[in-house]
Chain A
Amino acid sequence: SAVISQKPSRDICQRGTSLTIQCQVDSQVTMMFWYRQQPGQSLTLIATANQGSEATYESGFVIDKFPISRPNLTFSTLTVSNMSPEDSSIYLCSVFMGESYEQYFGPGTRLTVT
């Protein structure tokens, strides 16, 4: 398994500002993922972040709104830009580990936009 940490664990932000969420893994991984989990909902994949290449975004998510960096094999950041109350969610990073590509998740960042 992997130990994954995220910073910050929670934040309250003003409308129109940006927040950068950090994800740190205790081992080198090729693929890292960012999910959004809106209150009481399931997980929605935002994008896949591979080291050394541009992130791949899912339908409905764009780079201008959710820029992602992946500078090395243990770290990634997700920025939520020009925030609105609709961005209030839990943001989770995850990685694949194991022969079955099991997915392991960070503890999440709870974002509230006022």
Chain B
Amino acid sequence: AQTVTQSQPEMSVQEAETVTLSCTYDTSESDYYLFWYKQPPSRQMILVIRQEAYKQQNATENRFSVNFQKAAKSFSLKISDSQLGDAAMYFCAYRTFSGTYKYIFGTGTRLKVLA
């Protein structure tokens, strides 16, 4: 069975600085998707970024980028030029490429942005 681990329960970053959130996963599959979701205090979960395992190029969305290391089963999220609005819980999630629709979520990392 697949697992997703986020080993950092909480992280802090100064405004305008860069922070990296860690995520590791375990799977025997070769094709899958990985996601980062953001849940602000208002609690609406928002998709931040997506990575297909078959793509070697790391995904980027504006200030958000990932470091996808397939062999190491690592999927970290880098937030550049951090803003106060980035403060939230961040969840890493895994989904198999085909067949089951189930997502497996990590336990989350609470990011605090310091002014």
A residues with CB within 8 A of B? 1, 31, 33, 41-43, 45, 48, 90, 92, 94, 96, 100-108, 110
Contacts and interface: CB of A to CB of B under 8 A. Distances in A.
Interface of B: 33, 35, 37, 42-47, 50, 52, 91, 93, 95, 101-103, 105-108
A43 B105 contact: yes
Contacts of A41: 107
Contacts of A43: 45, 91, 103, 105
4 nearest A-B residue pairs (beta carbon): A105-B45, A107-B44, A42-B105, A108-B43
A95 to B, nearest CB: 11
A90 B41 CA distance: 12
A113 to B, nearest CB: 18
B35 A108 contact: no
A33 B101 CA distance: 10
A42 B50 contact: no
Contact of B106 (A33, A42, A48, A103): A42
Given A42-B105, A100-B33, A100-B52, A107 B47 contact: no
16 contacts: A41-B107, A42-B91, A42-B106, A42-B107, A48-B101, A90-B43, A100-B33, A100-B52, A101-B33, A101-B95, A103-B95, A103-B103, A105-B37, A106-B44, A108-B43, A110-B43
Given A100-B33, A100-B52, A102-B35, A45 B47 contact: no
Nearest to A30: B101
Contacts, number: 46
B102 A45 contact: yes
A42 to B, nearest CB: 5
A114 to B, nearest CB: 21
Contacts of A102: 35, 47, 50
Given A41-B107, A42-B108, A43-B91, A105 B101 contact: no
B16 to A, nearest CB: 28
A29 to B, nearest CB: 12
Contact of B101 (A92, A101, A104, A108): A101
